Structure 1
Amino acid sequence: MSIYQHFRKEEHAFIDQIISWRDQVKSEYRYKLLDFLNPREKTIVQSVIGTKDEVKCAFWGGYEEAERKRAILYPDYYEPSADDYELVLFKVNYPAKFIQLEHRQVLGALMGLGLKRSKFGDIIINGSNVQFIAAAQIADYIKLNFNQVGKTHITLEEILFDELTLSEQKGYEQTITVSSMRLDTILAEIFHLSRQKVLPYIKNQLVTVNWKIIEDPAYLCHEGDVISIRGFGRSKINKIDGMTKKEKWRLIVEKRK
């Protein structure tokens, strides 16, 4: 049975890369550190590596509940430590009395430096306290170049992970019914928009499924998918709970800002 049949076609290239890394660990008999992965990529790595092979995998993102984590593929004799993940934690200092920085602003500013999203982990905002986690290899570059978020001038401070302050993630479940599993249909129902209003967000690359931009309104969603519209928040299809008498799909979704 092929591993590929369990995944979408657009994920096959990533699977190939994981298999290549696994083979490298086998042949060189030393661990391989990967970049930050989103939860979907983490699931794929776990599925491909499995638990019975001589190569194992472990994940760490700076704290247990981290959404984005780096992965280590390692031979069975090795036991990874926190230092092996090569993470740094930054605090963003800014005039918090006059402005409140948002997650999307910090993310946009970091991406504006030419950095790949895979090079930094969670952005944690707790009130006026803004912190983010990055790969150690780009720490010096960030220190030199990250000095502004939008029109707000900032300074950076590298701090210990003991000083990490976590924000409370508030979400709630709701049940919706949809006529199909098309992306535009589900978005419209979750975010209380018409399908006509949803289409421009999709076409303008403001919609992601499992952290990947999707431009096809007819894209078919599945149980476990995480869907977001920029500016509206994020939702996860926790469960496909069968069909109604009117032959509509009943979905249990979790909404989160």
Structure 2
Amino acid sequence: MEQVYQHFRKEEQPFIDLVESWLIQVQEQYVPYLTDFLDPRQQYIIEMLVGKLGEVKVQFYGGYQNAERKRALLYPNYFEPKEEDFELDLVEINYPIKFATLTHGKILGTLMGAGVKREMFGDIMSDGERWQFYLAQSIRSFIILQVTKIGKTTVRLEEKNYTDLIKPIDNWEIEHDTVSSLRIDTVISSVYNISRQRAKDLVAGGKVKLNWATYDRPDFELGVRDILSVRGYGRIQLREIEGKSKKDKWRVELGVLRK
């Protein structure tokens, strides 16, 4: 395992051990294993670990093509995955659109306040007016009954067909950049064209999330598929590390959402 660990961060070791246990289960029982929803970095780790094995394959699905959060299906060679094997349901939030405003944060807070872990939900999406989210089928009935208010707004959750999926307004732009390091503050500074000190202050002030968790270390080095959310600025995903330039800087491919 030490050889595997050295390619990843120390804090990722428990997740690596978990993935290894899933892989062993698929190999020994010869049946598929479905995970909860994973963030892009976790998906990347699974891809890397599965890549070393011939007898286990993996597919990811989050309900639509550009989904960020996806469930992974680990399966033996004989198995052919279908969409229904991912056990996803699409739910729309019905609310008085003319009189109330919902936000991603309010919706997420309400869902988690209902006592359900973040791993049970996929992406929360909006077209600017309507709001929908994906969840694990196993909790659909519970959530629809449980959630009747978001903040002070009365809502009704309704299951939808995949054909009713809205077109989310978030559009990632692909950008290529050269950065002196992969530190959080360096990447934020370069993408949003602000000073390193300003970027450090944003991190120290709790304005930056790494893979949906608040992070306060500006010197932390990003890895492939990590997503930064920078309050007031937008989001950045490190898509690819393309190597070093002649001046010993990192060439990177980024997905960028600007506010």
Aligned to 2:170: 169
Offset at 1:254? 3.6
Deviation per residue, 1:214-252 (Å, 9 max, x gap): 22122123565422223432013455675587x876766
Q: How does 1:100-119 map to 2 (within 5 A)?
A: 100-119=101-120
Q: Which moved more, 1:27-36 or 1:209-218?
A: 209-218
Residue aligning to 1:66: 67
Q: Is the 8 A contact 1:241 1:252 kept in 2?
A: no
The answer to whether the 8 Å contact 1:244/1:250 transfers is no
Matched, 1:36 2:37: yes
1:166 CA drift (Å): 2.0
The aligned residue for residue 153 of structure 2 is 152
Give CA deviations for 1:177-234 in whole Å, capped at 9, x if unaligned: 6554432333244345555554454345442234443221221235654222234320
How much does 1:4 deviate? 2.2
What is the distance in 1 between the residues matched to 2:175 and 2:79?
Answer: 44
Structure 1-normalised TM-score? 0.85
Q: Determine what percentage of the aligned residue pairs are the same residue.
A: 41
Q: Report if the CA contact (8 A) 1:55-1:75 is conserved.
A: yes
Runs of 5+ consecutive residues of structure 1 not aligned to the other structure: none
> Which residue identity does 1:111 align to in structure 2?
M
The number of aligned residues is 256
2:215 corresponding residue in structure 1: 214
Q: How far does residue 34 in structure 1 lie from its aligned partner after superposition?
A: 0.5
3-state SS in 2 of match to 1:186: helix
> For the residues of structure 2 that align with 1:145 and 1:131, how far apart are their CA atoms?
16
Checking the alignment, whether the CA contact within 8 Å between 1:93 and 1:157 is kept in structure 2 is yes
Matching of residues 14-29 of structure 1 within 5 Å: 14-29=15-30
Report what 2:133 is aligned to: 132
- Structure 2 matches for 1:88-107, cutoff 5 A? 88-107=89-108
Residue type of the partner of 1:209?
L
Question: Any gaps of 5 or more consecutive residues in structure 2?
Answer: none
Instruction: Measure how far apart 1:162 and its partner are.
Output: 1.7
Give the TM-score of the pair, scaled to structure 2.
0.84
SS state of the match for residue 2, structure 1? helix
The worse-fitting range, judged by mean Cα deviation, of 208-217 and 153-162 is: 208-217
Q: Which secondary structure does the structure 1 equivalent of 2:78 belong to?
A: coil
What RMSD over aligned residues (CA atoms) do the two structures have, in Å?
A: 2.8
